Amino acid sequence: MKSRAFRVFLAAAACLAATLARADAVTDNARALIEKGDGRAAYALLAPLEGERAGDPVYDLLLGIAALESGRNTNAVFALERVLAAEPNNARARAEIARAYAALGETGTAKQEFETVKRQGVPAEVAATIDRMLSAIERATDQMHTVLRGYVEASLGHDSNVNSATAERNIAVPAFGGAIFTLAPGSTRRSDAFAAAGGGLALHKPLDREWALTAGLSGSKRVNEEADRFDTGSADAHLGVVRKYGRDTFSGALQYNQFWVDNDRYREAAGFTAQWQHDYSARLQSSLYVQYAGLRYMDQDVRNADRYVIGANFASALPGSRTIVYGGAYAGEEVARKSGFDHLGHALYGLRAGLQHAFRRDARAFASLAYEHRRYGDDDPFFLRTRRDHQWNLGLGVAWSPARNWLVTPQFQYTDARSNITLNRYRRQVLSATVRREF
């Protein structure tokens, strides 16, 4: 009798051990899927077990995160409420339920939960993430009210090539039998220090729960220390509408830009942009856009052109939300309006990528890399070949917020424009620091 009872006990213990091993395997696999960013797969793994495992804080936390990452916000709230009922001081669960409330539009409850988490003394990187979420909630709240925002900024820096010109002094011109021409001083690279100032206003006015009107004005002026003939200025204006529908945002805007060189009107551009943005989750979004701009040059009407561009972008917050990566690709054409000047028009395509990393609560580093290829429409009449350009742009910097609404940004920009026509080759390094005040 004792032997039979012992065998039954061993069998029951073996079943329990197998169940616990399976449970550990399930939660371990789900955790790995969440860390890889595959919340849908994690939810599919966990959801069938909810009837038997609900009440286990480890399981419920993973289920809540997986539900949130896969867009099941209500299910996420239910699972995370069970965690907090068992473990009221579970900061991760409280932060995740705050995200779920924010996704459901319950912004007041979301703010309360985030602020409760911050009071628990979380690490600096977690506090920084919560601050970003609170800022996002404020922006979402603003979308229900008419909001007018603005900024002013000032910059100091040094530019190794203020006129984006070649470093060559002498150029051989095939149209004149290869004769060597010496370029005028204004046609070769100039290095100089500069100061700049700018500002702008942006309006967001809801029309109903889905539609909103947007408008904006901005302007800037840059003054070089010595090469004042290359001082520049610009003014921009836009007017558009935005429609928010679930995870999709559709927007369109009319745009206008005026650009000055040495206080003279140099070029104006008028056109529009239309965009569709889709939010796959709180950490991943992508967009498609089309742009048109009519370019008109004040003193060089042969350069007037119509510019068309179509492109796609994406942005993703990596697990932990301290690092954001983004990228995009685009293609287009700039068509010369005047007959016989196809050599001034070109087809183009480009790629860009970048990241930003919040290494402190009040500071983030950023880096970007972009490439653009341009192939012109006909042989250049002076250099007797079809121009092809390959341009690379690198950007590095830090954005530091010493106080609310203040931003200090030291940065470095490098441009390498390569071309099969010597006159169009140049390199440029710009080192600057900008102080910005938002209001």
> Do the domains at 2-142 and 147-438 have one common CATH topology?
no
**What's the CA gap between 97 and 82, in Å, rounded?**
11
Burial class (CB in 10 A: 0-12, 13-18, 19+), 60: buried
Whether 275 and 295 have beta carbons less than 8 Å apart is answered as no
- Tokens at 36, concatenated: 């890889």
Q: Residues near 17 by Cβ (< 8 Å), separated by ≥ 6?
A: none
- Per-residue pLDDT tens, the chain, 439 aa: give them: 445 554 444 444 444 444 444 457 888 888 888 888 888 899 998 988 888 888 888 899 999 999 988 888 888 888 898 988 888 888 888 888 888 888 787 777 777 777 777 676 665 556 666 666 666 666 665 556 788 999 999 999 999 999 999 999 899 999 898 899 898 887 899 999 999 999 999 999 999 888 999 999 999 999 999 999 999 999 999 999 999 888 899 999 999 999 999 999 999 999 999 999 999 877 789 999 999 999 999 999 999 999 999 999 999 988 766 889 999 999 999 999 999 999 999 999 999 999 999 888 789 999 999 999 999 999 999 999 999 999 999 999 999 999 989 999 999 999 999 999 999 999 999 999 999 999 9
CA 33 to chain centre: 25
| For the chain, domain boundaries | 2-142, 147-438
Whether 170 and 180 have beta carbons less than 8 Å apart is answered as yes
**What's the CA gap between 325 and 354, in Å, rounded?**
6
| pLDDT at residue 361, as a whole number | 78
Among 349, 280, 274, smallest CA distance to 314 is for: 280
| pLDDT at residue 143, as a whole number | 58
**What's the CA gap between 289 and 277, in Å, rounded?**
9
Length of the chain: 439
**What's the CA gap between 439 and 424, in Å, rounded?**
41
Whether 338 and 302 have beta carbons less than 8 Å apart is answered as yes
> In the CATH hierarchy, which fold is given to the domain comprising 147-438?
Porin (2.40.160)
Q: What are phi and psi for residue 225, nearest 5 degrees?
A: -65, -45
Whether 280 and 313 have beta carbons less than 8 Å apart is answered as no
Q: Which CATH architecture has domain 2-142?
A: Alpha Horseshoe (1.25)
Whether 311 and 328 have beta carbons less than 8 Å apart is answered as yes
105: left (phi over 0), alpha (psi -120 to 50) or beta: left
Strands (E), 228-385: 232-245, 248-261, 264-279, 284-297, 305-317, 323-336, 346-360, 363-379
| pLDDT at residue 411, as a whole number | 97
Among 244, 222, 37, 215, smallest CA distance to 143 is for: 244
Residue environment code for 210-219, b if the CB has 16+ CB neighbours within 10 A, otherwise e = eebebbbbbe
Regarding pTM above 0.85, the answer is: no
Whether 30 and 66 have beta carbons less than 8 Å apart is answered as yes
The radius of gyration of the chain from alpha carbons, rounded to an integer in Å, stands at: 29
- Tokens at 263, concatenated: 């206080």
Indicate the DSSP class of residue 425. -
Q: Residues near 249 by Cβ (< 8 Å), separated by ≥ 6?
A: 242, 243, 275, 276, 277, 278, 279
